Chains A and B, each alone.
Chain A
Amino acid sequence: MANRETIFNLAVALLLLALPIAANYAGEPFYVTLATRIAILSLAAVGLNLALGLGGLVSFGHAAFFGIGGYTAGILASHAFSGDPLIFGLPGTKQMIVIWLVAMIAGGIVAFLIGLISLRTAGVYFIMITLAFAQMIFYFAISWPAYGGEDGLPIFVRNQFPGVNTLRPLPYFLICYALLAIGLILFKLIADSRFGAALQATRQNEVRVASVGIPPYRIRLAAFVISGMFTAIAGALFADLNRFVSPSMLSWHLSGELIVLIILGGVGRLFGPVVGAAIYVLLEFWLGGITERWQFFLGLILLGVVLFARGGVVGLIAGRARHG
């Protein structure tokens, strides 16, 4: 089924891989860093897209999972660095794979707890209660002194991945790119699966789903947990990219930005988050280089997209979404 959207998606995937590699060999490693940032934010937004795009769950609190992933990386690395045991005598670690697993589990558990209460509500109430939970965690992180509070927590040397020199920009980019690819494949599989069918139907018509005997609450909760896990892994990657974690990863601005990425790219579209993240990061970088007033122009551009490009950029290019 090689339709326009598939071709467009492939082109985006190839560009996101080829450009950083080219930049690296052209002696411009910074663009590799920029592409890494795009890949990581994309992965976080792919996670949110699962809840928001497929399930219609407008979470204004996904920064919570992003930050939890980040703090998992930071805390495990800092314990590995200092040699102090974590809890129950368990040591910290510098292995990314372990960190990702722990981040996923931590993100999943918190998403389960937040979802358990939040999913009782709907609409604007859901938007606001997810925001409230994220704010709770944000304030906790700021005022909890053990891991740096507002000052944040540095990761002195980027964590390790077997057989890869993660300190150099390109290999680290490739790790992030690979995880994004896995994330996109999982998203596609889930969207097309029985669970995905139930989830998308829940967004369209909750009563219908219940009256065929599928419990919408449990479907949504599962989607929210999976979504939180994706975003938590992205948070761990982001911490390693910056070699630093701070409560700003938990701020409501970040939750807003993740939503912005998705709308910019196209809600519910497979590559919506990727396209959105690429445009947002490049705009931020490009405008920031031109003028101190870049936020003003960023605002104007976002406004233009909402008002005149419904369905986001992917929608603009590949036409309306179709469901089988």
Chain B
Amino acid sequence: MKKTLGALALGLTLGLSAPAMAENVKVGMITTLSGGGAGLGIDVRDGFMLALKNAGANNIEVVTEDDARKPEIAVQLADKMIQSDQVDILTGIIWSNLAMAVVPSVVAQDKFYLSPNAGPSPLAGSQCHQNYFNVAWQNDNLHEAMGAYATKEGFAKPFIMAPNYPAGTDALTGFKRFYTGDLAGEVYTQLGQTDYAAEIAQIRASGADSIFFFLPGGMGIAFMKQYAQSDVGLPVLGPAFSFSQDILGAVGDAALGVKNSSQWNKDIDNEANKMFVETFQAEYGRLPSLYASQGYDTANLIIAAAAKADVKDADAFRAALKEADFASVRGDFKFGNNNHPIQDIYVREVVKEGEVITNKIIATAFEDHQDAYAGECGM
């Protein structure tokens, strides 16, 4: 079964790339492979490499380097890849602050940048650029979806919380863009905070009917474990980041029942996704996360564009990228005027399948959703 699927997909991809013999493309991947948050970078890289393997795309050469989550190292690596390795395309960055450091100077040097994860608002709006493509989401998207879902589900007093840094304020702004009712409270925690007893006490005392929070990485794990122990018992909403596959194992049963928003899940029903999930598990022995799916889509976008145009012909290649003529694991995928995705966003619930804790899609929050900054972009 697995083999037939693989062969089928291989055939499909080959079929796609048949018309023009694909030109060589050199891709520089700068991602986080060591230090805090390395799991996300590893997933993006693994997803990306898997796509190349599945497609047999040996015309695409990848140089991978570790940014250790430090902006200045990421900038240095970008310089190296452009000046020394002479790459055509850069990709891989996980964090908004690193993207803000790298992307403007990369695109100013006429290279392409494809973001597999970060989508800071300036790059979607006033500082958008024709050579910058976001294959994941604009940062606010998943939070907006949760705001819309909270409205639809009739929550009347959510308590909302995020760390005190730009992605955190963007998260709460995004939520409030689609949830305009009363709030039981709005709290900004410290970045890197690990103890949430004080916030949980405030939630308990606030008379909230639900909680929306954005706490990426270890912060989210800590909050969920402590929240589950507190017997507060209100429904929990959040973006996918705190409930992605790489984190669920560490949260354990405490995460069960949580609703979270994502543009992807492993149960989205299409051929590309089936093959992705199957081959990812076979290759790496674990379930893929949404980061892996984004890396996978990014690679497939490059493969598809390279089949249509020579990367040295920037205008043609840009047009090929913009068409986004590839089989996304998310199903429908297209770029808006600002080169950010227009896509469906789902609501997932954390469930237990056998012994494995994972997500299941229960609703669609948005169809063909575009980010709020597209209007500020001059393109």
Q: Do chains A and B touch in the complex (CB under 8 A)?
A: yes
Contact of A33 among B71, B79, B165 (CB under 8 A): B79
Closest to B68 in A: A295
Chain A 239-279, CB-CB to B under 8 Å as 1, else 0, gives: 00111101011000000000000000000000000000000
CA gap between A37 and B79 in the complex, in Å = 12
CA gap between A294 and B38 in the complex, in Å = 14
Q: Does A315 contact B (CB under 8 A)?
A: no
Classify the interface of chain A: helix, strand, loop or mixed: helix
Q: Does B256 contact A (CB under 8 A)?
A: no
Q: Does B120 contact A (CB under 8 A)?
A: yes
Residues A143 and B33 in contact, CB atoms below 8 Å apart: no
Residues B166 and A148 in contact, CB atoms below 8 Å apart: yes
Q: Does A150 contact B (CB under 8 A)?
A: yes
Q: How far is the CB of B168 from chain A (nearest CB, A)?
A: 8
Residues B190 and A33 in contact, CB atoms below 8 Å apart: no
Q: Does B105 contact A (CB under 8 A)?
A: yes
Chain B 62-87, CB-CB to A under 8 Å as 1, else 0, gives: 00011010111101100110011000
CA gap between A294 and B75 in the complex, in Å = 18
Residues B166 and A150 in contact, CB atoms below 8 Å apart: yes
Contact of B80 among A33, A142, A248 (CB under 8 A): A33
Residues B97 and A242 in contact, CB atoms below 8 Å apart: no
B58: chain A residues at CB < 8 Å are none
A243: chain B residues at CB < 8 Å are 75, 104-105
Residues B83 and A242 in contact, CB atoms below 8 Å apart: no
Residues A151 and B166 in contact, CB atoms below 8 Å apart: yes
Residues B83 and A143 in contact, CB atoms below 8 Å apart: no
Count chain B residues whose beta carbon lies closer than 8 angstroms to a beta carbon of A: 32
Question: Contacts A150-B165, A150-B191 given: A30-B83 contact, CB under 8 Å?
Answer: yes
CA gap between A33 and B100 in the complex, in Å = 20
Q: Does B206 contact A (CB under 8 A)?
A: no
Q: Does B164 contact A (CB under 8 A)?
A: yes
Closest to A156 in B: B104
A292: chain B residues at CB < 8 Å are 33-34, 66
Classify the interface of chain B: helix, strand, loop or mixed: helix
Q: Does A322 contact B (CB under 8 A)?
A: no
Residues B104 and A248 in contact, CB atoms below 8 Å apart: no
List the count of A-B residue pairs having beta carbons below 8 Å apart: 94
Q: Which of B179-214 contact A (CB under 8 A)?
A: 188, 190-191
Residues A242 and B75 in contact, CB atoms below 8 Å apart: yes
Q: Does B108 contact A (CB under 8 A)?
A: yes
Q: Which of B72-114 contact A (CB under 8 A)?
A: 72-73, 75-76, 79-80, 83-84, 96-97, 100-101, 104-105, 108
Q: How far is the CB of A24 from chain B (nearest CB, A)?
A: 10
CA gap between A59 and B77 in the complex, in Å = 29
Residues B72 and A238 in contact, CB atoms below 8 Å apart: yes
Instruction: Tell which of A34, A149, A284 has the most Cβ of chain B within 10 Å.
Output: A149
Residues A142 and B165 in contact, CB atoms below 8 Å apart: yes
Q: How far is the CB of B35 from chain A (nearest CB, A)?
A: 7
Residues A244 and B34 in contact, CB atoms below 8 Å apart: no
20 pairs from A and B in contact (CB 8 Å cutoff): A29-B84, A30-B80, A30-B84, A34-B80, A142-B165, A143-B188, A149-B165, A150-B96, A150-B166, A154-B100, A242-B76, A243-B104, A246-B71, A246-B97, A246-B101, A249-B72, A288-B65, A292-B66, A294-B66, A295-B68
Residues of B within 8 A of A (CB): 33-35, 65-66, 68, 70-73, 75-76, 79-80, 83-84, 96-97, 100-101, 104-105, 108, 120, 164-167, 169, 188, 190-191
What 3 A-B pairs are tightest by C-beta distance, nearest first? A150-B165, A30-B84, A244-B101
Residues of A within 8 A of B (CB): 28-31, 33-34, 37, 139, 142-143, 145, 148-152, 154, 156-157, 169, 238, 241-244, 246, 248-249, 284, 288-289, 292-295
